[in-house]
Structure 1
Amino acid sequence: MSSELLAILDHIERERGVSREVLIQAVESAMVSAVKKAIGAKNLENIRVTIDRTDGKIKAFMDDQEIKAVDFGRIAAQTAKQVIIQKIREAEKDVIFNEFSAKIGDIVSGTVYRFDKGNIVVDLLGKAEGILPKREQSPRDDFRQGQRVRAYVLEVKKETKGPQIILSRTSPFFVKKLFELEVPEIFEGIVEVKSISREAGERTKIAVWSKDEKVDCVGACVGMRGSRVKDIVTELQGEKIDIIRWSDDLREYITASLSPAKITEIRLDKKEEKAQVIVPDDQLSLAIGKHGQNVRLASKLTGWELDIRTRQEIVQEKEEAKKARAQMTLDGVGEKVLDSLIEAGFDSLEKIKDASIDQLTQIKGIGAKKAEKIIEAAKERLSQDNESV
């Protein structure tokens, strides 16, 4: 039985990838209980079982004294079968967990095994099953059973039934990884992906930059006659991809991020990381995009809040602001305080009248007494205006 046991463990190690040492330790642990039953011992702590790693001989000890009167071969045959399967399964789970934990942030391939309440169970080359939740599926995805699928490893959780491998096809990093696989210059580090924003199934914007002046970062990503980006678009079922040249010049970068719209002027507020982008009238809808998608993705890509305006809108807003300000003249309230009130959203006498002292004291430069005076002044002014009418 001794040599046969080692042969079985060696076979399992080769076939299942579970460490032989882990298995031997599992059998030793399992046999402690069996030896206890065989000799009628009450305490497990003073019993120890060892298996020789070379010849497979089994020895048992109680209080460091070897136990001689037990048929270890028979015990091994009876107990190893029952307990070793459980230990092997646990070890296999650990192997799978460790293997796929190392793949978090990578793309894996598999086939659609089955569907479960909108989620897709993916067979990962027979090694494990991955879950592609409905929320992580692109609206364009339409897989059938047995179909090959590629996905991004988002997370690996330890569960009682085994590792739960969460996959994603909506993550922007899925697209980033696809570019790494398709564009050698990105994989080699010559071209760097600086930022990426995505609305899965609709559009992705990816900003790239080349460390080598001789290498065109956008051209490298597009490929000869668009071959590289076409392969990625095919994988994403036709999702649109905008490849943008990254620049440390913010105005240049924002202009590129709003492509294909043409930009007239960009006004930066570096403190708030906001930018007012002025476009010609005929470019407004293009800059904003369908349902605001273009400006939304550009904001995510650049990390700046982008406000798209035409010159006509700005002029109109200024005129309206002047009118509103003229109507808000209050006794004892200076220009700066009025500007602060308008900026905080209190842009009418009605709003100031209905405001609480607590609300106004949230505005810089306005204390409780000042807030009380402003509210009273607004009420008085409105009362005067009503009387004059």
Structure 2
Amino acid sequence: MAITSANQLELLQTAEAVAREKMIDPELVVEAMEESLARAAKSRYGAEMDIRVSIDRKTGKATFTRVRTVVEDEELENYQAELTVEQAKQYMENPAVGDELRDEVPPVEMGRIAAQSAKQVILQKVREAERDRQYDEFKDRAGTIINGVVKREEYGNVIVDIGRGEGILRRNEKIGRESYRPNDRIRCYIKDVRREARGPQIFLSRTDPQFMAELFKMEVPEIYDGIIEIKAVARDPGSRAKIAVISYDGSIDPVGACVGMRGSRVQAVVNELQGEKIDIIPWNEDQPTFLVNALQPAEVSKVVLDEEAERIEVVVPDEQLSLAIGRRGQNVRLASQLTGLDIDIMTDAEESKRRQAEFAERTNLFMDKLDLDEFFAQLLVSEGFTSLEEVAYVEMDELLVIDGVDESTAEELQARARDVLEEANRAALEAARALGVEDSLVDFEGLTPQMIEALAKDSVLTLEDFATCADWELAGGWTSVDGERVKDDGVLEPFDVSLEEAQNLVMTARIELGWVDPADLVTEEAEEDLEDGAEDDGEASTEEAEA
């Protein structure tokens, strides 16, 4: 089949029809036609030739051109598509490397095989353009809600028609035991859009926490306008959920706005989520207060927060324990997800029992070490003394306020406490030296004899060994393993050494050993201060500009 004037315009008409049907740029279809014609020409004139085809966008006329590129003599490999500078002089004046020599060649006669090959090239290019269009359309819609129509179900996964593409709602992304039939309307959250070889894959979800947040944004105008913000969401899909909200307008109640008149707004979300119960909670910057809100409807008696470990202890009345934990631990689990804290729940009775155990332990410590009777030891504990160090080195006035303690009694108490501590220090140093501790570590300021003994048991025997320790190895810390927080015990953790204190001790050791120049530290701190100052100035300038 030759490309004659009779069918030249058909090329453009075909390109426009295909582009209109697939909703892609007609230029892409024409370029695919040019490539397919160029392949057909190469099969006719030789695969080594560089044949290029150009289709006139107005007349549809296809022009076939043979291109030869000027190269260096030693780089000449393809004699059909390349030529040297000397050879090029026969065809052009002052040729240079990189110049192209173009010669028009006659159009090709396209046989059945060539025409079929050209058709495949065009179809492939059209498919690629269609996939790119779909990806570009949906990639920016990730994180939003979309309405679709169920096309079919495959092995529990639902294929959804979402307009110019298809999305997949996996079995584990459906709420409970949801089932759909073809042509059912469905509302989903676009969780992810990926570009893959078989085309863009659009993954949908109805269990993602952000699906509920987006539903509230649709139902509550104040959230859409930014007056109310959703700070956190936790879901047990199909069963129960908690959502934390805050209002930036003092006249608007965030919880009331989300509930709506007679519960109309929240009910619309509940209906979409198959009856999932939703607790709407006011968000608070103070974590203990926020947690008390998050554990609703249970009442909380006391909260103890460990910020470093990101754990929190909650004490509830005995009769509130089951309500606080919830069915199968649901309430406390959702509260933990909402706050990002590990939560330990105990009753008033359990907390009282623990306090009594601590009281008895400290009483026995003072009775054994200071040779006191039970009444006097209990008196010390009641006044807040928890260790021998506090008794030994506290100001005298703090002991004199205790009933029945005069100056001579206070001096005797402190003398006994200091004797016990000195003996314990001596014993700890002897044990450490027996393990091989060197004087460089013993003489290092900031470590107690008990700390040195603990380090020796962990094979840290010299100042060099200590300087190579990581701060978390000394102070302990937390790491995530398979999504769960795991505790790393530190060598000096029993002595309440914080991560910052551990960093300072290790850095001091490195300076003493000459591994670190203090001047470098000063320079780094100065640079950080300058950066912080620049950021502050930038923020101030922005605020002034906004004002």
* TM-score, structure 1 normalization: 0.79
Q: Tell me the secondary structure at the aligned position of residue 298 of structure 2.
A: coil
Structure with more relative contact order (C-alpha pairs < 8 Å, separation 6 or more): 1
Q: 1:164/1:276 Cα in 2 relative to 1: closer, same or farther (>3 Å)?
A: same
Instruction: List per-residue Cα deviations over 1:362-381 (Å, max 9, x = no partner).
Output: x9776375589xxxxxxxxx
Q: How does 1:225-374 map to 2 (within 5 A)?
A: 225-320=262-357, 367=454, 370=457
2:29 aligned residue: 23
Q: How far 1:277 moved relative to its partner?
A: 1.5
| 1:367 counterpart SS class | helix
CA deviations on 1:145-182 (whole Å, 9 max, x unpaired) are 32111111122233333222211111101111111111
The correspondence for 2:104, drawn from 36, 43, 66, is 66
2:11 equivalent among 5, 25, 34: 5
Choose from 43, 46, 49 the match for 1:41.
46
Q: 2-side partners of 1:233 and 1:202: how far apart?
A: 10
Aligned pairs for 1:75-86 within 5 A? 80-86=118-124
Residue equivalent to 1:123: 161
2:56 is matched with which residue: 52, 57, 62? Answer: 52
State the partner residue of 1:175.
Answer: 212
Length, aligned pairs only? 343
**Residue identity opposite 1:367 in structure 2:** A
Q: State the alpha-carbon separation in 2 of the partners of residues 134 and 123 from structure 1.
A: 17
Give distance in 2, aligned partners of 1:87 and 1:96: 14
One-letter amino acid of the counterpart of residue 141, structure 1: E
Contact 1:186 1:193 survives alignment (8 Å): yes
Residue in structure 2 matched with residue 158 of structure 1 by the alignment:
195
1:350 aligned residue: none
For residue 140 of structure 1, report the CA deviation from its aligned partner.
4.5
RMSD across aligned positions (CA): 3.1
| Cα distance change on mapping 1:160 and 1:371 into 2, 3 Å | closer
Distance 1:4 1:181 in 2: 49
Going from structure 1 to structure 2, the CA distance change for 1:327 and 1:84 (only over 3 Å counts) comes to farther
Contact 1:35/1:75 (8 A) holds in 2: no
Q: Residues 232 and 338 of structure 2 are in contact (CA less than 8 Å); yes or no, is this contact kept in structure 1?
A: yes
1:307 counterpart SS class: strand
Kept in 2, the 8 Å contact 1:31–1:79? The answer is no
CA contact (8 A) 1:140 1:237 kept: no
What is the CA-CA distance between 1:231 and the residue it aligns to? 1.0
Moved more, 299-308 or 153-162: 153-162
Provide the C-alpha distance between the structure 1 equivalents of 2:363 and 2:150, rounded to a whole number of angstroms: 67
Moved more, 151-160 or 283-292: 151-160
* Structure 2 counterparts to residues 77-226 of structure 1, below 5 A: 80-125=118-163, 127-226=164-263
Deviations 1:234-261 (A, max 9, x none): 1110011111111123232111111111
Unaligned runs of 5+ in 1: 337-356, 358-362, 373-389
Query: How many Å separate the matches in 1 of 2:138 and 2:254?
Result: 32
Pair 1:317–1:108, CA change in 2 (3 A): same
2:53 maps to a residue whose letter is: V
Q: For residues 182 and 244 of structure 2, what CA distance do their matches in structure 1 show?
A: 36
Cα distance, 1:156–1:54 mapped onto 2, change above 3 Å:
same
In structure 1, distance between residues paired with 2:239 and 2:56? 62
**Higher mean C-alpha deviation, range 168-177 or range 22-31:** 22-31
8 Å contact 1:279–1:309 — kept in the other structure?
yes
Gaps spanning 5+ residues in structure 2: where? 1-6, 68-101, 370-386, 389-434, 436-449, 460-547
Report the secondary structure of 1:7's partner residue: helix
Report deviation, 1:72. 8.4
Report the Cα distance in structure 1 between the residues aligned to 2:245 and 2:160, rounded to whole angstroms: 32
CA change 1:138–1:364 in 2 (3 A) is farther
Identity fraction in percent: 45
1:50: Cα distance to partner? 0.9
SS in 2 for 1:267: strand
Find the residue that maps to 2:199 and give its secondary structure: coil
Structure-2 separation of matches of 1:371 and 1:324: 28
Q: Which moved more, 1:315-324 or 1:248-257?
A: 315-324
Counterpart secondary structure, 2:312: strand
Shift of 1:230: 0.7
